[in-house]
Amino acid sequence: MSHQITVPFGPQHPVLPEPIHLDLVLEDEMVVEAIPSIGYVHRGLEKLVEKREFPEYVHIAERICGICSFIHGSTYVQAVETVMEVEVPERALFLRTIWSEYSRMHSHLLWLGLFADSLGFENLFMQAWRLREHILDDLEATTGGRVIQGACKIGGVRRDIDNRKLAEMVAGLDLLEIEFREMNKVFFHDRSVLHRTKGVGIIPEREAYDLGAVGPTGRGSGIAEDARMLGYAAYDQIDFKPVVETGGDSYARCVVRGKELYSSIDIIRQAVEKIPDGPIDVKVTGTPNGEYWARAEQPRGEVIHYVKGNGTRHLLRHRVRTPTFANLPFLVKALKGCELADVPVIVLSIDPCIGCAER
Amino acid sequence: MKTEAEPIIPTGVPDLLPGVAALRQEGYRLVAISTTTLGEQFQVDYSFDRAFSFRTLRLLVSSETPLPSITGIYWAAFPYENEMHDLFGLTVTGIAVDFKGTFIKTSIQYPFGVTTVKPGDEP
């Protein structure tokens, strides 16, 4: 056996937007074990249900993450609405669906840029983030917020989008789709991208499933599951198939996210076509008494918001299981046996969101 | 909007590992382990999914009750079990990757182990 050394990776590292620490046990250049450690940005947000009343807590739920904020808010309200048996107006459900897909696109473009950066492909990084600005502009125009939207509330949404603006948004997405396809040509076919990602960090489908992998991380290994298939919000009225790749490597995970940009646009087109006129919220009375695990598909995969109420204005428990937390075991396995130089690419390939994972 | 049926199966500590092993045998994926502080007791929920069929095994335990690790059946349970210890102070024995209290770094020990606002005492 070769001599083993332990190399610390993170919590501060050029490819890490957020802090996670890995102890990498190496034999020569090969990683034989990776031991993760988190806790640098633990805020104990779930504990705040004891001090904030359930309607205002949505603002905290949304701040769990600065990237997939909207879907945290919408999943939290979905959990409370289910416990309270609130009938949310159809238009509000469609608006939630549209904003969720905008959130997915902005998150995927952010990740694609960071991934290109991890490969040293600066130009591609800037291209992805340039396109992301268009998505953020539409989020800002329709919700008032680029990153934290604050658009969801228990019983519906706070803002409407008029039908003229919805048509404008779809027209804008038609143009953006052309640019996405140009950008994806590089992610999918460029020799330098393939060289750094193909065959790197492979986890086959069965193992990924056993590891509890979710989202593009699992779908890149061939798991054909996507929480949107549950039919929450207005997804039960949308024709949708999950994007699945079977390579199980960093390249496959990248391709899933690249192609999901197209499926998000398609979902938005269908939602704009089908959105009914009508109210965007209902008056909610009473307090939650019961429990529910609400599941939704975030850009990084299945998120769970568990709420338990006892009939008072304060929930007994709000527990969030984020996709990054579920994908940590996958990451540990994917790093085993890789070259030290591939560690940043593999870490980024699961799109880690540490703020989310720690809450 | 569709909602899910979410059966909850009350389970005792001795029945936990056989129950989890049976679900693994049936092809269920471990979704989450969630802990809730209920006064002096802890509600520990082991949630699983198979093809969008969601179910939960529920334990009610005190902080003194050691829980057996399920990492021998679902290796991917180690982050959840370390979290149960670091945030709630529960003892889980035999975790495959045991951080011994250093997985989630908190400024106070077991911050979720007590309810600071008791139900009914809210301002």
Helix (H, G, I), strand (E, B) or coil at A359: coil
Q: How far apart are CA A205 and CA A197, in angstroms?
A: 18
Confidence (pLDDT) at A248: 93
Q: Which of A107, A114, A100, A258 is nearest to A179 (CA)?
A: A258
Averaged pLDDT score across all residues of chain A: 90
Confidence (pLDDT) at B120: 52
pTM given for the model: 0.89
Confidence (pLDDT) at B123: 37
Pick A62 or A258 by higher pLDDT.
A258
Alpha carbons within 13 angstroms on the beta-carbon side of residue A359 total 24
Residue A120 has pLDDT above 90, yes or no: no
Confidence (pLDDT) at A297: 94
Give the residue numbers in B contacting A (CB under 8 Å), as ranges: 1-4, 6, 29-32, 34-38, 45, 47, 52, 54, 56, 74-76, 78-79, 86, 97, 99, 102-106, 111-112, 115-117, 119-120, 122
Confidence (pLDDT) at A267: 96
pLDDT digits (tens, 9 = 90+) for B67-121: 999 999 999 999 999 989 888 889 999 988 787 877 877 777 887 876 554 555 4
pLDDT digits (tens, 9 = 90+) for A94-106: 999 999 999 999 9
Q: How far apart are CA A339 and CA A151, in angstroms?
A: 44
Among left, alpha and beta (phi > 0; psi -120 to 50; other), residue A325 is alpha
How does residue A345 score in pLDDT terms, banded at 50, 70 and 90?
A: confident
Confidence (pLDDT) at A206: 92
pLDDT digits (tens, 9 = 90+) for B50-65: 999 999 999 998 888 8
Residue A207 has pLDDT above 70, yes or no: yes
Confidence (pLDDT) at B96: 85
Residue A358 has pLDDT above 80, yes or no: no
Disruptive mutation site among B24, B29, B55, B106 for chain A (greatest number of A CBs within 10 Å): B29
Residue A224 has pLDDT above 80, yes or no: yes
pLDDT digits (tens, 9 = 90+) for A148-201: 888 899 999 999 999 999 999 999 999 999 999 999 999 999 998 898 898 988
pLDDT digits (tens, 9 = 90+) for B23-39: 999 999 999 999 988 88
Q: Which residue of B has its CA nearest to A312?
A: B120
Query: Can you list the positions of beta strands (E) in chain A?
Result: 4-9, 21-27, 30-37, 152-153, 156-157, 289-298, 301-310, 315-321
